[in-house]
Amino acid sequence: MEALFFNVDTGFLEGIVRGFRSGILNQNQYANLTQCETLEDFRTQLSATDYGNFLANEPLPISTSTISDKATQVLVDQFNYIRSNAVQPLSKFLDYITYSYMIDNIILLITGTLHERDTHELLERCHPLGTFDSMPALCVATNVEELYQTVIVETPLAPYFRDCLSAADLDDLNIEIIRNTVYKAYLEDFYHFSSSLGSPTSDVMHKILAFEADRRTINITINSFNTELSKEQRARLFPTIGRLWPAGNNALARADEIDQVRQACEMVADYRSFFGGGGGVDRGGDDLGIAAQLEDRFFQTEVQFNKEVFLQQFQYGVFYAYMKLKEQEIRNLTWIAECIAQDAKDRIQDFIPIF
């Protein structure tokens, strides 16, 4: 049985793992939050949870973006505390979790720069878990080669970007190709690293990363309809892991319409409901509407898979699952707060409960 190694005693580790689940809001706490009439009431209710007085110094009226930012910072502080006490191989596993935020930050900065957004504003929007020293230089890179040689070559993401160097121009299409090429390489690498950790971590992480790969494959397919991206280019962006791979990926590479996406997804039992009844996607909608509905189903499935991680002991996947579940929790808090602020109580229950 694999061990989890920290620089501190095992009692500390056991306390961390036990605290993960208890640190996630439960149904009663959500019920209290949805009964709030004002954001001040909302802040008071949150102070009675593990979030504590994280909003105590914020002046009224509190914005929903402030709530989201401050809740995210609480999560980042928790993660960094664990990371600072971890040793190999857990520390490397935690590093892999941060790579996805680094990718998102890079794409945010080069996309914003392409559209002449304010550099300072872009840097403020970057996720704190994905920061690195050369990030500001991203805003002055003019092509992919320059981006790689001056900014990314010294980061852990360098191997993922090597396949992108043929895309010389930083335009909207190439940036999307870069985003998906890099994420493909990252997911495949994380999957193989998880294999090296052995069971039960490999079992847990393979299921989660396979789902993430399939989600990206489905989204790439739908988002590429009626664009300049060729079917051959689309296929090269699909991760070569996942429950849809290879047969489902091959079908999605040839797809021309949403019904063909549905047929490909029916190969996996967990995905059949995405396009069916019981809250499934309305196939009569347009592609953008269908993509939005699918995103809700993806989030619901992601929550379910990450909750199941807590049923398995002595594995690293619980750290990954906790981060993902807390991110969903922050989306829930932001949604509830927005409904309170907009006096839209009829929609306040439209969030994804966790435990």
Whether 208 and 321 have beta carbons less than 8 Å apart is answered as yes
Provide the pLDDT for residue 242: 97
Q: In terms of Cα–Cα distance, which of 219, 212, 166 is closest to 317?
A: 212
Q: State the distance between the two ends of the chain, measured CA to CA, in whole angstroms.
A: 28
- Candidate from 58-72, 141-155, 291-305 with smallest mean pLDDT: 141-155
The residues, any chain, with a CB within 8 Å of residue 321's CB and separated by 6 or more, are 204, 208, 306, 307, 309, 310
Residue 252 structure tokens: 């999605």
Over residues 312-336, the pLDDT tens digits come to 888 999 999 999 999 999 999 999 9
Please, which pLDDT band fits residue 290 given cuts at 50, 70 and 90?
Answer: confident
Higher pLDDT, 240 or 151: 240
156: preceding bond cis by omega (within 30 degrees): no
pLDDT tens sequence across 123-140: 999 999 999 988 988 888
Calculated CA dihedral for residues 334, 336, 338, 342, nearest 10 degrees: 180
CATH 1.20.272 fits 1-86+331-355, yes or no: no
Phi/psi at 287 (5° precision): -60, -40
Query: Who contacts 53 (Cβ-Cβ below 8 Å, separation ≥6)?
Result: 47
**150 three-state secondary structure:** helix
**Residue-averaged pLDDT of the chain:** 89
| Backbone dihedral region for residue 131 (phi beyond 0: left; psi -120 to 50: alpha; all else: beta) | beta
